[in-house]
Amino acid sequence: MEKRVTFNERWLPYLLVAPQMVITLVFFFWPSGQMVWQSVLIEDAFGGHSKFVWFENFIALFEDPAYFDSVRVTVVFSALVAAVGLALSLLLAVMADRIIRGSSFYKMILVWPYAVAPAVAGVLWGFLFNPAVGIVSWSLKGIGIDFNYVTNANQALALIIIAAVWNQVSYNFLFFLAGLQSIPRSLIEAAAIDGAGPGRRFWDIVFPLLSPTGFFLLVVNIIYAFFGTFGVVASLTQGGPGQATNILVYKVWNDGFRGQDLGGSSAQSAVLMTVVILLTVVQFRFIERRVHY
């Protein structure tokens, strides 16, 4: 029998969705609309005089090689943050799922990093890897590795990836663990009786059944890598050395709020928003098809 809730009052459903709609309008549509409008203007910082320039800001953006450097960095960074973050948390979740004694202790420890704000995570990792006084960089020096993220571009990128992944692993871990625990034991036991080894059981049963969770986390992680990692970059590397860690969202902020170039920064935001919308649509349309719900 189909369960269906009906409203007798005509206005009640509207009333119930109204708060969410208001929040979306005020905090998403209104600023986004302003951003799109700003992106076709050249304006001085105080808004004294502004000029409508059609797509000049976008043309300038696409003619700027520094922008494509930033795109390249963002692609590498986001792919690695999502891939490493998902793989690592899946591994941890599978391990934690198998533990019998002290499992809640391990779970608590693994969830801990999520309580740390990205900016704070950035500062913590910055302390550990500080080229002059950091414990980790000091230890690395002991084994002959000169770790200096202030001048070495690859090390800087590696460091913000580590910090961003560390910050997000807990979130992924929680979802994977919940996903694992919702897989019926009987399926795994049946496979075991049929003689499937642990590896086979994981790849043929657990992994496909975990794919809805994995897909959801993939979307969330990519969006996190695009936007949520701002605090890590701002507190650790400020986009440097050179352009090595200047990811798109940091560049938007830097050009708009430090540089007071509102038109250029809005154009970047518009591009970034379009990319994330497209990415999400692509993920839902194409990847979702291969997901077993």
Partner 1 sequence: MSRIMLSSIAAVAVLASAQGAAAQTEIQWWHAMGGALGEAVAKMTDQFNKSQSEYKINAVYKGSYPETLTAAIAAFRAKQGPAIVQVFEVGTATMMAAKGAVYPTYQLMADEKEPFDPKGFIGPVYGYYSTTDGKLLSMPFNSSTPVFYWNKDLFKKAGLDPEKPPQTWPEVGEAAKKLVASGAKCGLTSEWQTWILLENFGAWHDLPFATKSNGFGGLDTQLVFNDAPRIKLISMLQEWTKDKRFVYGGREGKPTAMMNAGDCGMELASSGTASTLLKTLKPENVGIAMMPYDPSVRAKPQNSIIGGATLWTLQGRPKAEYKGVAKFLSYVSSPAVAAKWHQDTGYVPITYAAAKLTEESGFYKNNPGRDIAVKELTLNPPTANTKGLRLGNFIQIRDIEDSELEAVWSGQKDAKTALDEAVKRGNEQLRKFEAANK
Binding site for partner 1 (CB under 8 A): 42-48, 51, 60, 64, 66, 130-133, 150-153, 238-243, 254-255, 257-261, 263-264
What is the smallest separation between the CB atom of 37 and partner 1, expressed in angstroms? 14
Unique residue bearing structure tokens 């494509």: 68
CA angle 17, 20, 21 (to 5 degrees): 80
What is the smallest separation between the CB atom of 51 and partner 1, expressed in angstroms? 8
CB nearer to partner 1: pick between 19 and 48 = 48
CA angle 157, 159, 163 (to 5 degrees): 120
Beta partners for residue 51, in sequence order = 42
End-to-end CA distance of the chain: 22
CA 222, CA 209: separation in Å to the nearest integer?
A: 21
Nearest Cα neighbor of 56 from 37, 44, 36, 39 is 39
Supply 293's token pair: 């719900």
CA 82, CA 246: separation in Å to the nearest integer?
A: 18
What is the smallest separation between the CB atom of 131 and partner 1, expressed in angstroms? 7
Cβ(51)–Cβ(198) below 8 Å: no
CB nearer to partner 1: pick between 127 and 284 = 127
CA 224, CA 229: separation in Å to the nearest integer?
A: 6
What is the smallest separation between the CB atom of 16 and partner 1, expressed in angstroms? 30
CB nearer to partner 1: pick between 24 and 260 = 260
CB nearer to partner 1: pick between 213 and 265 = 265
CB nearer to partner 1: pick between 82 and 233 = 233
CB nearer to partner 1: pick between 131 and 212 = 131
CA 115, CA 166: separation in Å to the nearest integer?
A: 11
Supply 103's token pair: 């499992």
What is the smallest separation between the CB atom of 151 and partner 1, expressed in angstroms? 5
Scored b (16 or more CB within 10 A) or e, 180-207 reads beeeeeeebeebeeeebeeeebeeebbe
Cβ(244)–Cβ(77) below 8 Å: no
What is the smallest separation between the CB atom of 42 and partner 1, expressed in angstroms? 5
Nearest Cα neighbor of 200 from 184, 188, 213 is 188
What is the smallest separation between the CB atom of 22 and partner 1, expressed in angstroms? 21
CB nearer to partner 1: pick between 122 and 264 = 264
CB nearer to partner 1: pick between 113 and 122 = 122
What is the smallest separation between the CB atom of 167 and partner 1, expressed in angstroms? 22
